Structure 1
Amino acid sequence: MKSLLTRRRGVNPVYLAFMAVSFMVGVAGALQAPTLSLFLSREVHVSPLWVGLFYTINAVAGIAVSLLLAKRSDNRGDRRRLIMFCCLMAVGNALLFAFNRHYLTLVTCGVLLSAIASVSMPQIFALAREYADSSAREVVMFSSVMRAQLSLAWVVGPPLSFALALNYGFTTMFIIAAGLFVLCLALIAFTLPSVPRVEQPAEVPVTQTGGWKNLDIRLLFIASLLMWTSNTMYIIDMPLYISSVLGLPDRLAGLLMGVAAGLEIPAMLLAGYYVKRFGKRKMMLFALVAGIVFYGGMVLFQSRTALLVLQLFNAIFIGIVAGIGMLWFQDLMPGRPGAATTLFTNSISTGVIMAGVLQGVMAENFGHYSVYWAALALLLASLVMSARVKDV
């Protein structure tokens, strides 16, 4: 396979800028997210109930703010300036968490700043899509390589987050995160392009750009929501399942997550390479089959070796869904990459909210095994819905 980011006359610097920005924003986010519950518990001194409430409020606020800003980004203004504004809010959010330990302030001002900051990543992908379209570049591979930067960021970010927080304190960790967002702000200002809006031709049906009015978009959103609900249930429950049910070492949970994150990168790149041959719909259905194999295996197998092998199917599932799923939304909503990308990310946020409730209810009332049976059922339903969405 030829180099993914090269042209006949050499490396495209704008492509490299998009890669650098997506990686840096990903690392900055991955520094804060993994230790947030630990921060609220140890530094803010709140109970688990209030920790959970913080996550719920944060997710709901993120959905509401992202929808409002996504509509504005597709209709008017320079998308790059919106991304810079979101990164500036991310700097303020990191500094607030660095120096404030008052729960009410964090759950109001902090959540608002975090919600605005969270819009930066889908808007970066939307700008990348517009740039690729306007310059006649290969959209799928470009997006897949960008998405791989996020996976790489989540391979690096969480271990660094725990190392900084536990060895140097949360204040130091949040200050470093703020510094990374300042660096991202400079990269965006000086390296990313401004792409003019492209008016949609008259022959494009209204339902194609009408978002939720389109049955295909509704089905894909619900299917995506179920996929991410299953994945988040696994992330929440797996460390508890490993230690309390299987009696395996706690560190195995971190190893399983790291192996999956590492394998996601080649899965994303291969998906981007083969999507032209097989189409987005077939690739997504293949990913869902891999996910069904993974969750079926989590029910059937309990040894350390089997759990490690199963991460290959988990990586195929997440690697393809994370990259191709977003592009499928964008293709179903031509001319509205901001709204389409935000709709995809909101399916993830809504899945997080649902997963927290389902995992807690299932594990407490029916045991940890039931969580994986529930995840398996959700993916089967998602497979049926995805099969009904048209290929584009």
Structure 2
Amino acid sequence: MLWLLTTGRRLNGVYLAFMVVSFMMGVAGALQAPTLSLFLSREVEVRPFWVGLFYTVNAIAGIGVSLWLARRSDRQGDRRKLIMFCCLMAVGNALLFAFNRHYLTLLTCGVLLASVANTAMPQLFALAREYADRSAREVVMFSSVMRAQLSLAWVIGPPLAFMLALNYGFTTMFLIAAGIFATSLVVIAFSLPAVERIPQPADMPLTEVSGWKDRNVRLLFIASTLMWTCNTMYIIDMPLWISADLGLPDKLAGILMGTAAGLEIPAMLLAGYYVKRIGKRRMMVTAVAAGVLFYAGLILFHTREALLLLQLFNAVFIGIIAGIGMLWFQDLMPGRAGSATTLFTNSISTGVILAGVMQGALAESFGHYAVYWAIAGLSLITLFITTRVKDV
């Protein structure tokens, strides 16, 4: 791996455990997320508006739960135990989706389980940041290599998800996801470290914990929210757009997601290696500019070959913002890794809220093509806001 080649560090057991857990949890998530819109549309049989609403409600619940858990985790307790609990909820969520097709049940019980389960990943990255700080490891590359495991998981997950769902049914797909989460729980219990943290005062205001008083944190949160709004609108709409409007095979959606994830790996590793020379701000601006080109390309080019080629820009966009964006939050909020990582994750959740409402309304009222014009416009706004955040 690039980090080992450039630093000469040897792989130890704890480091390997972090990589394995992030990969397995990434695969389990990548089995469920790419096919969710198809699942709701075909299995639960709801209209596009209700598909988008599901994403929105899920994200709103996730923000509240993750913020509360993040504040507790930064003050007290074993972060590893919290991650294990979140994995257990992820198992329950996958089993619910495997055997239930009632929209309101999924929107209530499913959303509650998912909101806790989705906290596992930011907490895992917060634990990794604390471990890297305590063990004097190079934080940027540690985080980038760990984030690369998620991209590797997304190389495998989406094509596998569409293959399982289309050939063996959604029940089989969700059961496999539940099994992977259960295995992750076992690895976490026996392999990840418990890292002591400096406790935060119990009466610290939420705005101080979250860093919201800092103008740069606010701007970065807004920019990150819009970045993930664009990405999520694409993820929700693309599988439906591929088959409904473009007349291309359903499995192409999984191939496109897997291709982008594969290309993200070198993008994020190179970003982690060069970030000290280039700077986080300049690198993030470059990433968002690549996103603008990607979304503009979706408006103009609709062949299979063109869509595959455009994934290069998508990979640069997501590969950099997913890794460097989180580190930018952490650097702007020193000493509050859990809150900073969760704020980054909540920018994703807020983006999902906006994406669910906008995609559902636009697709139902004006068709899928209007969705991509909206995404392209949002990406331009995002580019401007990103340039206003200070470098660290």
> Match for residue 183 of structure 1?
183
* 2:3 and 2:141 in contact (8 A); partners too: no
Deviations 1:23-52 (A, max 9, x none): 111111222223334444555455555444
* 1:363 and 1:371 in contact (8 A); partners too: yes
CA distance in 2, matches of 1:30, 1:277: 33
CA displacement at 1:274 relative to structure 2: 0.6
> Match for residue 271 of structure 2?
271
* 2:129 and 2:337 in contact (8 A); partners too: yes
Which sits farther off after the overlay, 298-307 or 212-221? 298-307
> Match for residue 32 of structure 1?
32
Alignment size in residue pairs: 387
Equivalent residue letter for 2:294 = F
* 2:157 and 2:258 in contact (8 A); partners too: no
Equivalent residue letter for 1:309 = L
CA distance in 1, matches of 2:151, 2:310: 18
Which secondary structure state, in structure 1, belongs to the residue aligned with residue 390 of structure 2? coil
Q: For residues 179 and 258 of structure 1, do their structure 2 counterparts lie closer, same or farther at Cα, with a shift above 3 Å needed?
A: closer
* 2:159 and 2:251 in contact (8 A); partners too: no
> Match for residue 203 of structure 1?
none
Which sits farther off after the overlay, 54-63 or 239-248? 239-248
> Match for residue 113 of structure 1?
113
Which sits farther off after the overlay, 343-352 or 191-200? 191-200
Q: For residues 5 and 131 of structure 1, do their structure 2 counterparts lie closer, same or farther at Cα, with a shift above 3 Å needed?
A: farther
* 2:284 and 2:324 in contact (8 A); partners too: yes
Deviations 1:42-89 (A, max 9, x none): 554555554443332212111111111111111111111110111111
Which sits farther off after the overlay, 377-386 or 29-38? 29-38
Q: For residues 19 and 39 of structure 1, do their structure 2 counterparts lie closer, same or farther at Cα, with a shift above 3 Å needed?
A: same
CA distance in 1, matches of 2:166, 2:254: 16
CA displacement at 1:308 relative to structure 2: 2.9
CA distance in 1, matches of 2:293, 2:42: 38
Equivalent residue letter for 1:385 = I
CA displacement at 1:91 relative to structure 2: 1.7
* 1:4 and 1:141 in contact (8 A); partners too: no
Q: For residues 232 and 47 of structure 1, do their structure 2 counterparts lie closer, same or farther at Cα, with a shift above 3 Å needed?
A: closer
CA distance in 1, matches of 2:301, 2:43: 39
Aligned-CA RMSD value: 2.7
Equivalent residue letter for 1:372 = Y
Residues 1:281 and 2:248 aligned together: no
Q: Note the residue ranges of structure 1 that are not aligned, 5 or more in a row.
A: 201-205
Deviations 1:347-375 (A, max 9, x none): 11211221232234445555655433332
Which sits farther off after the overlay, 355-364 or 256-265? 355-364
CA displacement at 1:120 relative to structure 2: 0.2
> Match for residue 388 of structure 1?
388
Which sits farther off after the overlay, 215-224 or 43-52? 43-52
Q: For residues 180 and 67 of structure 1, do their structure 2 counterparts lie closer, same or farther at Cα, with a shift above 3 Å needed?
A: same
> Match for residue 353 of structure 1?
353
CA distance in 1, matches of 2:77, 2:127: 12
* 1:226 and 1:379 in contact (8 A); partners too: yes
CA displacement at 1:248 relative to structure 2: 5.3
Report the TM-score, using the length of structure 1 for normalisation. Answer: 0.89
> Match for residue 58 of structure 1?
58
Which secondary structure state, in structure 2, belongs to the residue aligned with residue 213 of structure 1? coil
> Match for residue 228 of structure 1?
228
Task: Give 1:235-250 correspondences, 5 Å limit.
Answer: 235-239=235-239, 241-242=241-242
CA distance in 1, matches of 2:366, 2:147: 36
CA distance in 2, matches of 1:207, 1:68: 13
Q: Note the residue ranges of structure 2 that are not aligned, 5 or more in a row.
A: 201-205
Q: For residues 29 and 212 of structure 1, do their structure 2 counterparts lie closer, same or farther at Cα, with a shift above 3 Å needed?
A: same
> Match for residue 203 of structure 2?
none
Equivalent residue letter for 1:55 = Y
CA displacement at 1:213 relative to structure 2: 1.3
> Match for residue 153 of structure 1?
153
Which secondary structure state, in structure 2, belongs to the residue aligned with residue 4 of structure 1? helix
CA displacement at 1:312 relative to structure 2: 1.2
Which sits farther off after the overlay, 131-140 or 355-364? 355-364
> Match for residue 322 of structure 2?
322
Equivalent residue letter for 1:32 = Q
Q: For residues 381 and 50 of structure 1, do their structure 2 counterparts lie closer, same or farther at Cα, with a shift above 3 Å needed?
A: closer
* 1:5 and 1:12 in contact (8 A); partners too: no
CA distance in 1, matches of 2:136, 2:223: 30
CA distance in 2, matches of 1:372, 1:41: 20
CA distance in 2, matches of 1:10, 1:77: 30
Deviations 1:104-150 (A, max 9, x none): 43322222111101100010000000111111101111111111111
Report the TM-score, using the length of structure 2 for normalisation. Answer: 0.89
CA displacement at 1:304 relative to structure 2: 4.3
Which sits farther off after the overlay, 21-30 or 234-243? 234-243
Identity within the alignment, %? 75
CA distance in 1, matches of 2:95, 2:165: 15
Q: For residues 69 and 293 of structure 1, do their structure 2 counterparts lie closer, same or farther at Cα, with a shift above 3 Å needed?
A: same
> Match for residue 83 of structure 1?
83
